Amino acid sequence: MVSDSSLVGLVCAGSAIGLATAAWFASQVAAVKLNNDGEVNSRTPILAQDRGHVQGGHDGKDDEFHLNVEQISTYIAEGANAFLYQEYRIVSIFIFFFGLLLFFLLGGTTHDWGRSALTTVAFIAGSVTSIVCGFIGMRIAVFTNSRTAISAQAGVADGRGYEFAFDTAFKGGAVMGFALVSIGLIVLFVLICVYHLYWTEAFATSDNNAKATRAMFEAIAGYGLGGSSIALFGRVGGGIYTKAADVGADLAGKVEAGLREDDPRNPAVIADNVGDNVGDIAGMGADLFGSFAESSCAAMVISSQSELYTNWPAMLFPLAITASGILVCLATTFVATHIMKTMTQKDIEPSLKRQLLVSTVLMTPVIFALCYSFFPSTFSVSTATNVKNYHIFFCVTAGLWAGLIIGYTTEYYTSHSYTPVREVAGSCATGAATNIIYGLALGYKSVIIPVFCLAITIYVGLKLAGMYGIAVSALGILSTLAVGLTIDGYGPICDNAGGIAEMSGMPEEVRDVTDALDAAGNTTAAIGKGFAIGSAALVSLALFGAYVTIVDLTAAGVNLLEPFQFGGVLIGGMLPYWFSAMTMKSVGKAALDMVQEVRRQFADAPVDANGNKDFSKFQADYKTCVAISTAASLREMLAPGALVMLTPIIMGFFFGTRALAGTLAGALVSGVQIAISASNTGGAWDNAKKYIEAGGIPGERKGGNVHKAAVVGDTVGDPLKDTSGPSLNILIKLMAIISVVFGPSFPALGNAIFERLIA
């Protein structure tokens, strides 16, 4: 068994090394200058200059107008900062009032005001940490995207464009990955240490040690609640923002006006690029931080109510996994940056996939060593007795490898390197309708393997270690979180880099490099979403176990044949549909506002002597479009947020703990299926469009009827893959963590209010 000091050393060393790694990669990205004073790998980058207007066709659609790289980067940064400032201002108000609700509700029902206060403090700490992590991710993405374009341009001359650009984008994603995991880990560890001191003083007698440990970790669960609450607003608000801008730019700019993909004359193009950062970076970072916090809290809440409460290293086993994972991920990144570098287009996707495989292989023996060192040879936990330390290894490893299989399955169904997406692309030959049919079928089919993986993982966890086995299985998926965040952040960075390359008028060969990086980034982003949804399913089930333990439902169980439980299952199964409808309609409303604004600006464009629109003299108003996306996303995120936050509280207070248990189960089963199918359908439509644009179907490229059908599918899929799909994993997690945190209040209220009324 390891000592307490060894545990402290491992956690502190892991956090420190992770932060140092993030700073090191950030300094390497910063070495890429946006002016001629800097160098990129011993080559001087050429800054694309503002070249004004170049004459084209008579209607002006083929005219070229280019912006300076620094101008574009500034526009994107200002738009992202403006959105996050407004969002965090609203979120701060939410933190204050929800914190008050949490404090008075817990304190008033349990009459333990000290515990209530510390739960509220943990909630605030989790919220602030999530905000900081999301902001860091957004800032490094905005900082890296223009430097990725510059790196591609600098390396093209001697055939090293892929190498230079990939390294820059990858290191930018790694900054977010290592910084987020390290900050989340050290804040949680400090919180535990401080709370341990309080409860040691408050419960000095040995008779109260078990009660003190249980109360302490139930209070610390507020940390996961704070992280996931902010993630909800980040995912929903950022998702609505990015898809409103994307759909508006595509429909009004590309389809109607016939402009290029990232034409600087499209008023919505800057808002589109801003959305990639605030939705796919800040929102995604907050989402996976919430998964880390919740899975760690769930495992510690469950173990605190077992004989492990006297074994401090075993109690903090989740932190040891995360700290060790940081070290494994650091070693894994060297495979991409130093050992097997990306030199050609064909190397990009395998290099990113290799990160998942290598980190999983390296993490497996590390998990075995941790389980052998941190747990006694035999112990009892949750409802499981005679648990062996190697049983925990099997549970964690089942989650770890399930995450890898889910990621690779997602890649198969969303990459145009494989049959499913190519079939979707081929279906565009007969129009948008068949494209929609094929895409929906692909999404539904892509659910099969991930669900079997989750089912097997759940069986292994429950069989060997009860609900604690489920909790550590979720930790297994998230043990390589730094690498997962790295390849997920890589995608939006490359997407922005491609837009910057086109808007700044870089040579076509540079755009070829950024397009290839972006196509691989779309696939890795889809892998990241599958990874997040899979981990969310296990985290939600682990939190469910913590909830039934807190409200003492483990003995009697949850009988689905009882009316309240079965009704809860039906309501819970309906909630993901309700939530998806709200978020998708919100995207539609915001996109409508954006399309109307772009049309208004185009209507004011000058006309030439023949009465045709002269886009060569048109100046887009980017700020108005950014403001529309910002206002619409902040307005529309409130109703879905209220649905998720209030449902478990209302169900628990009015209908009782068993009805809420059924609701959580229904939401989990329904939400996982919808989230996977929506994310993969949208990803497949996106890459089918890119496959056609790259000439995958002979004779069909941009502008033809086949391409237009693909654009329709991509537009329909945008709110599925970037708003409703990824937001659903927060729904199932957040409802469960709210139930855990408020759980002590439900038994304190006695019978449910509704049961009192009908008695």
pLDDT in tens, 37-49: 433 333 333 333 3
Q: Residue 702: what pLDDT? A: 67
Task: Choose between 668 and 702: higher pLDDT.
Answer: 668
Task: Choose between 123 and 547: higher pLDDT.
Answer: 123
Average of per-residue pLDDT across 273-280: 79
Average of per-residue pLDDT across 690-699: 81
Average of per-residue pLDDT across 47-67: 39
**pLDDT of residue 383 exceeding 50:** yes
Q: What is the pLDDT of residues 103-154, one digit of tens each?
A: 998 888 778 888 899 999 999 999 999 988 888 888 888 889 888 888 888 8
Q: What is the pLDDT of residues 726-756, one digit of tens each?
A: 888 888 888 998 988 888 787 666 556 666 6
Q: In this structure, are strands 378-381 and 384-388 parallel, antiparallel, or unpaired?
A: antiparallel
Q: What is the pLDDT of residues 548-561, one digit of tens each?
A: 878 877 655 667 77
Rounded CA separation 231/228 (Å): 5
Q: Residue 565: what pLDDT? A: 84
Q: What is the pLDDT of residues 291-347, one digit of tens each?
A: 888 889 888 988 888 888 788 888 899 999 999 999 999 999 988 888 888 888 888
Rounded CA separation 485/482 (Å): 5
Task: Choose between 50 and 30: higher pLDDT.
Answer: 30
| Confidence class for position 53, pLDDT limits 50, 70, 90 | very low
**pLDDT of residue 619 exceeding 50:** yes
**pLDDT of residue 667 exceeding 50:** yes
CA distances from 651 to 214, 563, 752 (A): 24, 14, 9
Region for residue 618 given its phi and psi (left: phi exceeds 0; alpha: psi -120 to 50; beta: otherwise): beta
Rounded CA separation 452/428 (Å): 31
Are 693 and 701 contacting, i.e. CB atoms less than 8 angstroms apart?
yes
Identify the weakest region by mean pLDDT among 38-47, 251-260, 276-285, 692-701: 38-47
Range ranked top by mean pLDDT from 74-88, 217-231, 432-446:
432-446
Q: Give the tokens for residue 607.
A: 């006309």
Rounded CA separation 346/350 (Å): 8
Q: Residue 57: what pLDDT? A: 31
Rounded CA separation 575/239 (Å): 19
Main-chain phi, psi angles of 53, to 5 degrees:
-110, 135
Q: What is the mean pLDDT of the chain?
A: 83
- pTM, two decimals, is 0.87
Average of per-residue pLDDT across 162-178: 90
Task: Choose between 576 and 612: higher pLDDT.
Answer: 576
| Confidence class for position 423, pLDDT limits 50, 70, 90 | very high
Identify the weakest region by mean pLDDT among 15-24, 101-110, 277-286, 577-586: 277-286
Q: Residue 701: what pLDDT? A: 65
Q: Residue 513: what pLDDT? A: 86
Hey, is 697 helix, strand or coil? Answer: coil
Identify the weakest region by mean pLDDT among 118-122, 651-655, 693-697: 693-697
Average of per-residue pLDDT across 232-258: 78
**pLDDT of residue 511 exceeding 90:** no
On the CB side of 347, how many CA atoms lie within 13 Å of its CA?
Answer: 18
Range ranked top by mean pLDDT from 96-110, 228-242, 435-449:
435-449
Identify the weakest region by mean pLDDT among 155-169, 387-401, 409-423, 639-653: 155-169
Average of per-residue pLDDT across 54-81: 63
Query: Residue 323: in which H helix or E strand, if any?
Result: helix 317-334
Rounded CA separation 61/506 (Å): 19
Main-chain phi, psi angles of 385, to 5 degrees:
-115, 160
